[in-house]
A and B are shown apart, each in its own frame.
Chain A
Amino acid sequence: MATKKIGFTCAYAPVPIIEAAGFTPFRVFPETDSKDQSGYMLHDNLCPHVKKVLDRALDEDLPELEGMVFINSCDSMRRLSDAWQEARPGDRTILLDLPSSNTDASITFLAGEYKRLLKTLCQWNSVDVSLDKLKSRINAWNSLSQTLGNIEHAMGKNFYPGLFSQYQKIINLSAMHGVDKAFLKAKEIDPDKMSPQKGHAPVFIFGNLLFDPKVFNLFEEWNMHVADNDFCTGSRFVNSVDYDASKDLFYSLASSWMNRTPCARTMDIADPGAIARKIVDRAKSCNARGVIGFTVKFCDPYLARIPMIREALQQESIPFLMIEGDCTLGSMGQQQTRIEAFTEMLEV
């Protein structure tokens, strides 16, 4: 079992690559008691995700890391990469360029970036690049993805108290301790042996980060049944790799990451604004009576798309609640009244 850790902050960093290089992944969540000091490097109007991660870096609130993987996914992430180098000049870091559109040329380019990532990480760990090892980690990842998919499917059909929180813990486990540990935990969950309950409002939730399992327990207390989710810390994180044996392995990885349900920063140029339609489709397919969006403040990719999402949901008469904050348990507590009023309105 690898003990050396590689930090990362964005869901476009493929965990199978980190593991194939012999490292344990460690997602640096913006959860910290560190004092707020990132402001002297980054402007206050950058998203709290990035600022809190930087606070952790400045305050040494991190385990020992062999290096950090950054993704050029949005302006804030780019700036985090810049600031990290200043805050911790001794750290090994790599910044991957992530195209904004999912064209074939973009996927090919990203495949090159993922290849560069594996090569760099293997150098850092003084091991040889092994495609067999990468295939093996992709298989493990796909097994986890499939198991979590089964849990998601069950949660979409029925409300199982406490299950979403367990699901979130498994995703966090995969992000912070590796896929194998998460898979073992996931296998322990069998919704067939659990008792579904009625009376909670089925809701589809989406956004960027919502990672604290306790938040989902609160949602249940507030009469919400999370029927499906779309977060980079949730369903978007563990998506399976469609491995095409006739194609380059890195191309398959890049294609899977670019073609999965995208973060708002990734666009389908053939279908501008597709994110709105996709959210409507997801909400409908899990029979959600309402949709709640959670985004961190100052997140440009989501802020720009919220009006089109609202419009699309309105056209389908699906109630929508938008919540902005720092997506921690603390900020969620302040939203109790709004969320309760929303779920009451859904009239279960």
Chain B
Amino acid sequence: MMYDYFKNMVDGVSQKLLQDPDSINAKKKYVLEIAKIGQKLYTRDEKIAWCGVTIPFDLLNSMGVTSCFVEFVGAMLSSNETAPIFIKEAEDSGYAPDSCAYHRAVTGAMLKDIMPEPDFIIGSSSPCTAGLAVMEDMARRFKKDFFILNVPQNNSKESIKFLTDQIKEMTRFITAHTQKPLSMEKLGRALEFFNESSLILKDIYNLAKQTPSPVDNKLLKDFGTVIGLIMGTREGVEICQAFKDELIDRIESQKIDPSKEKIRIMWIQNRIQYKFPIEKMLEDFGVKIVVDELNDVTWEPMDPDNPFESIAKRIISIPYSLGTNERIAHMQLLAREYKLDGAINPCHWGCRQGTGVRGLTTRGLKDVNVPVLNLEIDCVDSRNLAQGQIETRLEAFVEMLT
């Protein structure tokens, strides 16, 4: 089922790109590359690893491993509206409805045998405890070797060394399963691609900061999280460049409608994955999502001469890896740079990590005069969606901001 889903997506998008080869088509190219990863996961031509969100995919790519974070599958199932089937399967098997639906969907998919069997599993303690728990369950059910990257919550010298050593150990773990040693040359190239992508990403985000912003409410949806899957590749560089070109084109050809940007907001944490026209609703209100919380380059360039430590520092720099104070400081920085009028936090049900401190993040943004609308939405499980209620709250929030 999932193979067909990804194959159809790859075929369909490829066709569309062929029909219009001269246009920039950033989003289509991006969807195509991501769908290709999905297709590879279900084809099994390469070694496959299921991973946590903050695992260095550039390193795994350079070692010839097709890898992906499991929440990606939860999001895919949600976007094709099959997630409720798998979530129900998980719940019927005893997994608590109070837990995160990304993970329940993945667990249900595993129980229904639609998760491809990996060669090994690499979890990480960042961003969340629940994500690591589902990785352990996966290792148990698939009877596969399991590795954990423990990501410390501070960037002290000791913490960076601890994580650096673990990343080195991880490469030995991978080699033991692929029988291929790490090629420093390939890693060096991956890091070059990563650095190139990072530079273009900075340009993309700087363009998005302009007033009016050339982005729309969907263009960079969850971009900062998902692009990590391909950033250490040539394709990753090309995708980033396509997005940059798209934004420049919009600015130069004056395609930006200022009436759709009466209010500039930030989307906190992840977007809603199933079909729910919240972006359109916001657009109709003249609200533009100019930034997603995780759309940022928080790391220094990777040092090919010191790759493991560079990667360790990068992982720790992600706002979710650090404490709430650092996360709030990062949001406040975005608020200033993007000249935000407000922010929306979906408060994804079951997320203790991101949603847990919503009171603190709300207050932190209020300190820089950015009001926050805290919704109560399950971003993956659409079964209990109270659409009318959300519409009313959005409307009230927009009225307040205007």
Contacts and interface: CB of A to CB of B under 8 A. Distances in A.
B324 A79 contact: yes
B152 A97 contact: yes
Contacts of B162: 105, 109
Contacts of A57: none
Contacts of B148: 99-101, 267, 269
A74 interface: yes
Given A79-B324, A269-B147, A303 B99 contact: yes
Contacts of B300: none
A42 B96 contact: no
Nearest to A41: B359
B125 interface: yes
Contacts of B9: none
A112 B158 contact: yes
B106 to A, nearest CB: 11
Contacts of B95: 303-304, 307
Contacts of A325: none
Interface stretch (A81-89, A195-203, A217-225, A328-336): A81-89
B357 A79 contact: yes
B137 A43 contact: no
B267 interface: no
A81 B322 CA distance: 12
B194 interface: no
A39 B359 contact: yes
A308 B129 contact: no
Contacts of A112: 158
A97 B356 contact: no
Contacts of A265: 129
Interface string A18-61: 00000000000000000000011111011100000000000000
B94 A307 contact: yes
Interface stretch (B77-85, B174-182, B222-230, B346-354): B346-354
B22 interface: no
Interface stretch (A175-183, A243-251, A293-301): A293-301
B130 A97 contact: no
A133 interface: no
* Residue with the highest number of chain B CB atoms closer than 10 Å, among A106, A303, A310: A303
B166 interface: yes
Interface in A67-103: 72, 74-76, 78-79, 81-83, 85-86, 95, 97, 99-101
A191 interface: no
- Chain B's interface size range is 35 or more
A82 B324 CA distance: 6
B140 interface: yes
A252 to B, nearest CB: 19
A112 B156 CA distance: 12
B166 A100 contact: no
A46 B152 CA distance: 22
A194 B193 CA distance: 73
Given A300-B99, A306-B94, A41 B133 contact: no
A305 interface: yes
Contacts of B130: 75, 300, 304
Contact of B150 (A42, A74, A101, A305): A101
A300 B131 CA distance: 9
B352 A79 contact: yes
A223 B147 CA distance: 44
B133 A301 contact: yes
Interface in A89-147: 95, 97, 99-101, 105-106, 109, 112
Given A272-B139, A272-B140, A273-B137, 11 more contacts: A45-B355, A46-B356, A75-B128, A79-B324, A79-B357, A82-B325, A85-B325, A101-B148, A264-B133, A273-B136, A304-B99
Interface of A: 39-43, 45-47, 72, 74-76, 78-79, 81-83, 85-86, 95, 97, 99-101, 105-106, 109, 112, 264-265, 267, 269, 272-273, 297-298, 300-301, 303-308, 310, 324
Interface of B: 93-96, 98-100, 103, 123, 125, 128-130, 132-134, 136-137, 139-140, 146-148, 150, 152-154, 158-159, 162, 165-166, 169, 323-325, 347, 349-350, 352-353, 355-360, 363
28 contacts: A39-B359, A40-B359, A41-B357, A42-B359, A43-B352, A43-B358, A46-B352, A75-B128, A75-B352, A75-B356, A76-B356, A79-B352, A82-B324, A82-B325, A83-B357, A86-B360, A100-B148, A105-B166, A109-B158, A109-B162, A112-B158, A269-B146, A272-B137, A298-B352, A301-B133, A303-B99, A304-B103, A304-B130
